[in-house]
Structure 1
Amino acid sequence: MYHRVADAKEVHAIAKMFRELGEIEQEHVTQMAEKLLQDGINTTVPPPSWRVRTLDRIGKLLGYGFSIGVIMNTDRSIATAQLTQNKKSPPGLLYLLTWMNCSIKEKHLTFNTKNHNT
């Protein structure tokens, strides 16, 4: 999904950021599949969920602004839950989330949770 958003962005810096996020997500999928394989569970990577496919269709029809907001809020919620559970910040994660939010605000594309609930 991040790669599709990147392809739709005209601002190079924002497109690059979403491509990097897509690569990070792909690394997470690969690492999880490797971990399962080490645990004796042979699995294949499932296709995108119904939710992601729906957000992609909305993005194609109306622009990816809404879809990006939903995805960013989901990722932020997961990261916040992980930080709360671990009681410490993984190196660089909090910085990355802060940097993404600031960069997006500088380009006037606010994705914070307060403005997204409409």
Structure 2
Amino acid sequence: MVRIYTLTLAPSLDSATITPQIYPEGKLRCSAPVFEPGGGGINVARAIAHLGGTATAIFPAGGATGEHLVALLADENVPVSTVDAKDWTRQNLHVHVESSGEQYRFVMPGATLDDDEFRQL
């Protein structure tokens, strides 16, 4: 049996929301956020799981966002192998604007891994 592993160096906790419109300098009311696992290798492992296969996602996870990411993958029955990271796992924000149909994707930088964390991957 073939074993599949994916490696994601910059995993993310992706949050998505909807707002009626966007305008500068005002409070923008949004819908409750929806959270999903993100990052290239993680997305591949999720796709394999959705097709009935198994792939282990390997990635650094740090802080509450890392814990949330691991929990979301467990909910999708995606096996993980994580390295504890000192930096928190990044969180990205996707905003859909109802009035225009536009989508804004705010992508944060990935966590900085020290030499030891990088070697453990």
TM range (shorter): under 0.3
TM-score, normalising length from structure 2?
A: 0.22
Give the structure with the higher percent strand.
2
Q: Which has the larger radius of gyration?
A: 2
TM-score, normalising length from structure 1?
A: 0.22
Give the structure with the higher percent helix.
1
